[in-house]
Amino acid sequence: MITTLHPLLANAAVFAIKNATPEGKITVLVLLLLSLFSWTIIITKFRQLSIARRATKKFFAAYEATRDPMAIQKSGTEFDGSPAYAIYERSAEELDYQLKKNPVAREGERRISTASFEAVKVVLEEAASAQAMSLEKGMIVLSTAVAGGPFIGLLGTVWGVMSTFAGIAEKNSASLTAMAPGVAAALVATVTGLLVAIPAMFAYNFMVTTVRHITQELDGFAMRYANQVEHTYVDDRDLEDKIADALKRNESASVNQF
């Protein structure tokens, strides 16, 4: 059955394309170009998401092994391809900058003020948004292929059938032999549209679910990282304690001058 089915399909496709009108051939060409872009996105996104999931799993394992939000940056370990690590890297760089440029001394440790912590949170949110947009990049091509492919094919089919009936009316011949080439040529546009849309639909649904899962992980990590930074590096003393500490430092500085 299979050995006879393939030659029949191949012969039918060749026959239909040969008898297609210029409009039908243009429609098929447009669909083939859309299919090329669609498969390029499918292969690229599958690779990107696969690397992202593996690298993120390794990064989370390394991050959970330490309680210091700066430990991974200090060690110099990198997790290329991980969206979570990209968020961590940008946030840790901002935290390190605030610790160096705007430090708050507390019991011999470097801390940051609440205002500096807000700057770190802004960078954290921007990095999370940038990674989410990177994961979703190119998905519009797949959604266009899913939604537009069948309609473009249907347009080519309707146009081909219209041309076929117009030719039959001119020749005053309604035989099956006269109709078959035109109808077959028209239907090939619909078949091509479905062949473009079906793989794109399955790939799009899978990728949307995967991207949504990774994005939720990123949101959870951003909240957890912000909490750990706040508990570890933010000077959260009351205003009265800060004033008293500043007065003590001023008194010590005055004594040292004398």
Q: From residue 67, give the alpha-carbon distance in Å to each of 21, 27, 144.
A: 69, 59, 45
pLDDT in tens, the chain (258 residues): 334 445 545 455 565 566 666 777 788 888 989 999 999 999 999 999 999 999 999 999 999 888 888 899 888 889 999 999 999 999 999 999 988 887 777 666 778 888 888 999 999 999 999 999 999 988 999 999 999 998 988 888 788 777 777 766 666 666 555 566 667 677 788 888 899 999 999 999 999 999 999 999 999 999 999 999 988 888 766 544 544 455 455 555 444 554
In the block, residue with structure tokens 């940051």: 112
Total number of domains in the chain: 1
Distance CA 146, CA 121 (A): 38
Distance CA 182, CA 178 (A): 8
Q: From residue 128, give the alpha-carbon distance in Å to each of 7, 122, 213, 225, 238.
A: 52, 10, 14, 12, 31
Cα angle: 174, vertex 28, 148; to 5 degrees = 110
Which candidate, 134, 49, 95, places its Cα nearest to that of 225? Answer: 95
| pLDDT at residue number 5 | 43
Distance CA 206, CA 43 (A): 13
**pTM for the full predicted model:** 0.74
Containing structural domain, residue 44: 2-257
| pLDDT at residue number 46 | 93
